[in-house]
Copies of this chain bind each other. A is one copy, B any other.
Amino acid sequence: MDQKGYRRGSFQSSTSDEDMLEIAGASLDFPMADDDPPLDREMGGFSSYNGGEMNGTSKMMDFLEEPLPGVGTYEDFNTIDWVREKSRDRDRHREITSRSKESTWALIHSVSDAFSGWLLMLFIGLLAGSLAGLIDISAHWMTDLKEGVCLAGFWFNHEHCCWKSNTTFTDRDKCPEWKSWSQLIIGHGEGAFAYILNYLMYVIWALLFSLLAVLLVKGFAPYACGSGIPEIKTILSGFIIRGYLGKWTLIIKTITLVLAVSSGLSLGKEGPLVHVACCCGNTLCHLFTKYRKNEAKRREVLSAAAAAGVSVAFGAPIGGVLFSLEEVSYYFPLKTLWRSFFAALVAAFTLRSINPFGNSRLVLFYVEFHMPWHLLELVPFVLLGIFGGLWGAFFIRSNIAWCRRRKTTKLGKYPVLEVFVVTAITAILAFPNEYTRMSTSELISELFNDCGILDSSKLCEYVNDFNSTKGDDLPDRAAGPGVYTAMWQLALALVMKVFITIFTFGMKVPSGLFIPSMAVGAIAGRLLGVAMEQLAFYHHDWVIFSGWCSQGADCITPGLYAMVGAAACLGGVTRMTVSLVVIMFELTGGLEYIVPLMAAAMTSKWMADAIGREGIYDAHIRLNGYPFLEAKEEFSHKTLAMDVMRPRRNDPPLTVITQDSMTVEDVETIINETTYSGYPVVVSRESQRLVGFVLRRDLIISIENARKKQDGIVSTSIIYFTDHSPPLPPSFPSMLKLRSILDLSPFTVTDQTPMEIVVDIFRKLGLRQCLVTHNGKLLGIITKKDVLKHIAQLANQDPDSILFN
């Protein structure tokens, strides 16, 4: 694929306004990612709220009158007007409802329209669940492919291959059908040469997978890189990035996600799965007019799709819905809550029936603990919380610094090389350590696991004292040599994961953060857990253990520590709260363990917030300059609307259009001389009394159209925005009536309105702009970009970092 295509993909890491413009331009001749419907063509009759003829007798006129194509649509990299979109949907709904009384056909149409949302959710759930299953199975197989191949059939993964074989339980991992590469090539798996051969094959496969991934992303769907969550947040807040959720992105992201995960890079599939699910949602929206044509309705669907994505990523439907509500969505009406839940459930059950892990669980690391925890254990849990918070803050700072470096230096120009180098380093470092060699989710699964009597892994190599064992209840035991080796290996794995993840997240491959963060936390937690366990075993006479941890009792569950640590680190990085705890709760299934999880998550969030307010997604949004107005942060400054509005004190006055005295030429001059996306319409320049607001795009289209199709429209024709125009003498050129494109209900605030209220209005109503008045006279205008710039300025950031509008 050409450089242009790639550049468009790199818009995520573009730095300057010019850069952005070029990218936005490039997107126009990049057909593959541009598969959003041509909204400009088909508009139906639903822009009537702009018109003022709604009241009185002419109410039905708008539906009969064909509106101009293009009026009321958006350009790429623009912000939508939620109020208008929602109004339009209500008009549509009203029309269908009123028509439904007329005929049976219309009634059926009305009912099917009402149920189309549910049907869409069903499809999204089915598709997202199937794709997740496909990804799980393929990634599992390809991860194993790095180490060897199954002779019974190359399409079996290691576990599956050995299931087929009839070996005993303990030898399950060493069945004859599964051949490591050295066994296959030189006939045996022993010795240094075989080791080196396996090492080499491991690295080669890893490089192959990751290079294939980066080339596919670069070549076919530049938007498929990264986790996608920052962009989805921005899109859901009302921004338009055409193709970001298109079907090409869907296909390429699904394939490259498998490749990236299999390559053994320190990344997870959870964030990208959300992106994949949103792509499914967006693509399936095309099936239903209701959602295809309305940007606001489509965002409701995307919120639900995000929930389905998390649902399949973690097997946590409730957690998914809460994640969508808490972290991703901007407008989340309660209707969406119910539908999201439905989509999340369908997705989870589709995945379960695919059963990718062969354990009828939705995730690899589902666990069940049996032992209660003691109140005193809250101390180590809080310590894990502090660790999680510190790690989160450290990771965000370093990762953002590295990503900024990538954007501003030459580094960003060689994404393939970057992926090659990082994969090579990761693979070379990972192979010798068995805990980094295995896939990260397997690692987490092993760390979460509570050691049973039969567990043969190194982590469970305790000194067994069968005299004190009663039934299934294992007492705390002394650690054997295997555990000590495992501790060292885990500590090394921890160091490696901590650093390599910083460089991995943000590369041009699909990469999620959840799994690496959880791995870091799980390792730290397990280390602490085993330490606590040994402490309790050898020093059960200490005061702190007295009363709850006598000799021969099972008082510490290291697996629980791993889980708490994972929650803490994930919380520190993403700043999730309720959804995090609920996801973890759904993994364990016991209400019992919510308290440790909550303690760790709270500590971690407080700790991380004390160092830096932003979570990783918000940090990336800011890094990329997306116009995202954070809904959670309170605006805490004491400025007024007049301090933010344009024009500023010494600027030229606001460009306005008068309602009945400007000619076509005047207006065209204004359009050509300015770049504003809309103009206020006033009664007269002298009075500055506001009549309405007209969008640049609508104005250009209408004038062009009138010049072409309407007789007698010349440059000297006067444009009327009034309801009734005066009778003109015949010598005058015919006039152009444009009231239908005028927004007669623009939002206004007074100049004395505190900015906190203005910000609140922008957030809650989803405005694009707001006019400022003083004693009834129009003074200026505030756009979303102005608000964002103002916030950036107050936070001592460069206001020009806000790129888009």
Q: How far is the CA of A321 from the CA of B83 in the complex (A)?
A: 29
Establish whether residues B744 and A90, one from each chain, have CB atoms under 8 Å apart when the complex forms. Answer: no
Q: How far is the CA of A59 from the CA of B640 in the complex (A)?
A: 11
Residues of chain B within 8 A (CB-CB) of A748 are 748, 773
Known contacts A337-B577, A636-B97, A691-B775; A585 and B90 CB within 8 A of each other: no
Q: How far is the CA of A52 from the CA of B637 in the complex (A)?
A: 16
Establish whether residues B93 and A636, one from each chain, have CB atoms under 8 Å apart when the complex forms. Answer: yes
Q: Does A582 lie at the interface of the complex (its beta carbon under 8 Å from any beta carbon of B)?
A: yes
Q: Does A87 lie at the interface of the complex (its beta carbon under 8 Å from any beta carbon of B)?
A: yes
Establish whether residues A776 and B687, one from each chain, have CB atoms under 8 Å apart when the complex forms. Answer: yes
Mask, A210-229, CB within 8 Å of B = 1, is 00000000000000000000
Establish whether residues B594 and A54, one from each chain, have CB atoms under 8 Å apart when the complex forms. Answer: no
Establish whether residues B756 and A745, one from each chain, have CB atoms under 8 Å apart when the complex forms. Answer: no
Q: Does A714 lie at the interface of the complex (its beta carbon under 8 Å from any beta carbon of B)?
A: no
Establish whether residues B745 and A578, one from each chain, have CB atoms under 8 Å apart when the complex forms. Answer: no
Q: Does A425 lie at the interface of the complex (its beta carbon under 8 Å from any beta carbon of B)?
A: no
Q: How far is the CA of A585 from the CA of B55 in the complex (A)?
A: 49
Known contacts A591-B586, A757-B83, A764-B765; A642 and B55 CB within 8 A of each other: yes
Min C-beta distance of A371 to chain B, whole Å? 15
Known contacts A578-B338, A776-B778; A591 and B90 CB within 8 A of each other: no
Nearest chain B residue, comparing its CB with the CB of A690? B776
Q: Does A349 lie at the interface of the complex (its beta carbon under 8 Å from any beta carbon of B)?
A: yes
Known contacts A90-B636, A97-B636; A689 and B776 CB within 8 A of each other: yes
Known contacts A577-B337, A582-B318, A749-B745; A49 and B754 CB within 8 A of each other: yes
Q: Does A173 lie at the interface of the complex (its beta carbon under 8 Å from any beta carbon of B)?
A: no
- Of the candidates B338, B595, B750, B778, the one whose C-beta lies within 8 Å of that of A349 is B595
Q: Does A289 lie at the interface of the complex (its beta carbon under 8 Å from any beta carbon of B)?
A: no
Chain A at the B interface: SS class: helix
Nearest chain B residue, comparing its CB with the CB of A688? B776
Residues of chain B within 8 A (CB-CB) of A333 are 632
Min C-beta distance of A607 to chain B, whole Å? 14
- Of the candidates B54, B595, B683, the one whose C-beta lies within 8 Å of that of A345 is B595
Known contacts A54-B640, A54-B754, A750-B744; A775 and B683 CB within 8 A of each other: yes
Known contacts A318-B585, A750-B745; A598 and B345 CB within 8 A of each other: yes
Min C-beta distance of A777 to chain B, whole Å? 7
Residues of chain B within 8 A (CB-CB) of A337 are 325-326, 577-578
Residues of chain B within 8 A (CB-CB) of A765 are 760-761, 764-765
Interface residues in A319-365 (C-beta closer than 8 Å to B): 321, 325-326, 333-335, 337-338, 341-342, 345, 348-349
Residues of chain B within 8 A (CB-CB) of A754 are 49, 54, 87, 745
Q: How far is the CA of A471 from the CA of B54 in the complex (A)?
A: 73
Q: Does A36 lie at the interface of the complex (its beta carbon under 8 Å from any beta carbon of B)?
A: no
Min C-beta distance of A562 to chain B, whole Å? 22
Q: Does A581 lie at the interface of the complex (its beta carbon under 8 Å from any beta carbon of B)?
A: yes
Q: Does A165 lie at the interface of the complex (its beta carbon under 8 Å from any beta carbon of B)?
A: no
Q: Does A638 lie at the interface of the complex (its beta carbon under 8 Å from any beta carbon of B)?
A: yes
Nearest chain B residue, comparing its CB with the CB of A316? B591
Q: How far is the CA of A783 from the CA of B91 in the complex (A)?
A: 24
Q: Does A746 lie at the interface of the complex (its beta carbon under 8 Å from any beta carbon of B)?
A: yes
Q: How far is the CA of A761 from the CA of B683 in the complex (A)?
A: 26
Known contacts A577-B338, A776-B683, A776-B687; A756 and B591 CB within 8 A of each other: no
Establish whether residues B594 and A317, one from each chain, have CB atoms under 8 Å apart when the complex forms. Answer: yes
Nearest chain B residue, comparing its CB with the CB of A691? B775
Establish whether residues B317 and A591, one from each chain, have CB atoms under 8 Å apart when the complex forms. Answer: yes
Q: Does A377 lie at the interface of the complex (its beta carbon under 8 Å from any beta carbon of B)?
A: no
Residues of chain B within 8 A (CB-CB) of A631 are 334
Q: Does A634 lie at the interface of the complex (its beta carbon under 8 Å from any beta carbon of B)?
A: yes
Q: Does A413 lie at the interface of the complex (its beta carbon under 8 Å from any beta carbon of B)?
A: no
Mask, A718-760, CB within 8 Å of B = 1, is 0000000000000000000000000011101110111011001
Establish whether residues B55 and A94, one from each chain, have CB atoms under 8 Å apart when the complex forms. Answer: no
Nearest chain B residue, comparing its CB with the CB of A340? B578
Min C-beta distance of A107 to chain B, whole Å? 14
Residues of chain B within 8 A (CB-CB) of A83 are 757, 760
Mask, A72-95, CB within 8 Å of B = 1, is 000000000001001100110110
Mask, A91-111, CB within 8 Å of B = 1, is 101100100000000000000
Q: Does A589 lie at the interface of the complex (its beta carbon under 8 Å from any beta carbon of B)?
A: yes
Q: How far is the CA of A261 from the CA of B683 in the complex (A)?
A: 68
Residues of chain B within 8 A (CB-CB) of A637 are 94
Residues of chain B within 8 A (CB-CB) of A638 are 54, 59, 91, 94
Mask, A666-698, CB within 8 Å of B = 1, is 000000000000000001000111111000000
Establish whether residues A745 and B764, one from each chain, have CB atoms under 8 Å apart when the complex forms. Answer: no
Min C-beta distance of A51 to chain B, whole Å? 9
Nearest 10 Cβ contacts at the A-B interface: A689-B776, A745-B753, A744-B752, A764-B764, A338-B577, A776-B776, A689-B775, A745-B750, A341-B578, A52-B752
* Selected A-B contacts with CB under 8 Å, 23 pairs: A49-B757, A54-B638, A55-B642, A55-B752, A83-B757, A90-B635, A93-B636, A97-B636, A318-B318, A325-B337, A326-B334, A326-B337, A334-B631, A341-B577, A341-B578, A586-B591, A641-B745, A689-B776, A690-B776, A745-B749, A745-B754, A745-B757, A748-B773
Given contacts A55-B642, A334-B632, 9 further A-B contacts (CB under 8 A): A54-B638, A54-B752, A90-B634, A90-B756, A97-B636, A318-B582, A341-B598, A687-B776, A776-B778
